[in-house]
């Protein structure tokens, strides 16, 4: 059992992507979480993580980079049980609880991610991890600004950008078997490194992620748009583990290469339905999360969002809605 200093359990539920991992790493390095904190995570789209947390009176739950709107009932359950909840996130949150044991560090501005919020909370003590996270979360502008503020060299900034992209890449898959590393295992691989550049230089785990990413991106190199309009392009990936792993990084790269159009990626699920990722320009007529929240399992943030399950029989209507939403 993970215990704090007075014998009570402490929990941390975090998104398994770069932003969640780097936010967790900063808080652990800063001593904001007890050494034996009980961690809860999963693949990137596994965001209803608080269902798996059973905290009670006097116990603390820290939540990183998963939308409050998707965990609302469990936050209420934990607060009613006497737990305290500290929440860092940048996704659409919906109405927040008014409760003395609920502490919110939620900011949905398009220029912040969860690790940048944690960096702000910690006064920049472990800013290199926040730089890596922002790059991994598809926010190169804020990442470069933070790197410049702290005087990082171009070489170190580039290394952090690669690390962020690889940590993010590792989180994508339909199930944990699709990933190179379970995010819980990867969190433990990161923990000894106060400086992420040491992880880049010295860790066999980083080398494994780099090699896997290169192989998967080579497989994706010949991908062509499936449907497109003046304001949007839609790609359909094959039903292969490499395609599920690469979907997030590929969406960010394709969007960066065509910044004036919305970019969508459809990934087939093993049950015959689809998973969808969306990236939109800063001046898009409809935010990415607003479009995706039209669908039962959709959510995200202003520039990047997704839908966990899109029924196959609804695909043609969905394509029409996407092209109409981004004309």
Query: Domain boundary residue among 180, 211, 242?
Result: 211
What pLDDT was estimated at residue 89? 98
In a domain, residue 59? The reply is: yes
Q: Domain with 243 in it: what CATH number? A: 3.10.310.30
288-301 tens-digit pLDDT: 999 999 999 999 88
Tell me the pLDDT of the chain averaged across its residues. 95
Domain final residue pick, 185, 211, 237: 211
Q: Is residue 1 part of a domain?
A: no
Show the domain range for 115. 10-211
pLDDT of the residue at 81:
97
Strand, helix or coil for residue 102: strand
Backbone φ and ψ for 199, nearest 5 degrees, come out as -65, -40
Same domain? 156 vs 280:
no
Residue 162 parent element (H or E): helix 154-170
User: Structurally, how many domains does the chain consist of?
Assistant: 2
Q: Domain of 133: which CATH number?
A: 3.90.1640
> Does residue 4 lie within any of the structural domains?
no
Pairing mode, strands 60-64 and 10-14: parallel
Same domain (yes/no): 187, 122: yes
Q: Which residues contact 151 (CB under 8 A, 6 or more apart)?
A: none
In this structure, the answer to whether residues 39 and 142 fall within a common structural domain is yes
**pTM for this entry:** 0.87
Q: Does any domain span residue 79?
A: yes
Residue 3 is predicted with a pLDDT of 45
Exposed (0-12), middle (13-18) or buried (19+): which is 107, by Cβ within 10 Å?
middle
Q: How far is CA 74 from CA 16, 64, 93, 105, in A?
A: 19, 15, 14, 18
Residue 118 lies in a domain: yes
Which residues of the chain carry a pLDDT beneath 70? 1-7
Q: What's the confidence (pLDDT) of residue 7?
A: 52
| CA dist list (Å): 294 to 122, 227, 290, 321 | 36, 21, 7, 10
């Amino acid at each position: 059992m993970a215990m704090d200093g007075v014998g009570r359990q402490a929990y941390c539920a975090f998104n398994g992507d770069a932003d969640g991992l780097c936010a967790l790493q900063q808080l652990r390095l800063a001593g904001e979480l007890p050494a034996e904190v009980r961690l809860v995570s999963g693949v990137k789209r596994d965001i209803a993580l608080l269902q798996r947390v059973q905290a009670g009176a006097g116990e603390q739950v820290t939540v990183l980079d998963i939308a409050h709107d998707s965990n609302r009932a469990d936050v209420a359950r934990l607060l009613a049980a006497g737990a305290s909840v500290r929440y860092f996130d940048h996704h659409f949150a919906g109405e927040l609880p008014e409760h003395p044991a609920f502490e919110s560090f939620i900011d949905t501005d398009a220029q912040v991610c969860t690790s940048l919020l944690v960096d702000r909370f910690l006064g920049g003590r472990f800013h290199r991890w926040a730089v890596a996270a922002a790059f991994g979360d598809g926010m190169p502008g804020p990442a470069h600004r933070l790197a410049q503020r702290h005087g990082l060299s171009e070489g170190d900034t580039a290394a952090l950008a690669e690390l962020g992209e690889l940590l993010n890449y590792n989180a994508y898959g339909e199930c944990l078997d699709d990933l190179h590393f379970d995010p819980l295992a990867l969190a433990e691989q990161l923990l000894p490194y106060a400086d992420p550049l040491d992880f880049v230089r010295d860790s066999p785990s980083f080398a494994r992620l780099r090699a896997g990413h290169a192989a998967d991106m080579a497989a994706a190199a010949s991908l062509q748009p499936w449907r497109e309009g003046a304001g949007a392009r839609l790609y359909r990936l094959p039903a292969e583990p490499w395609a599920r792993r690469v979907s997030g990084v590929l969406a960010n790269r394709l969007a960066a290469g065509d910044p004036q159009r919305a970019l969508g990626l459809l990934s087939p699920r093993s049950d015959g339905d689809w998973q969808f990722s969306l990236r939109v320009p800063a001046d898009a007529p409809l935010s990415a999360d607003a479009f995706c929240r039209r669908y039962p399992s959709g959510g995200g943030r202003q520039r990047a969002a997704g839908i966990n399950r899109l029924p196959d029989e609804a695909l043609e209507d969905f394509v029409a809605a996407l092209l109409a939403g981004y004309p």
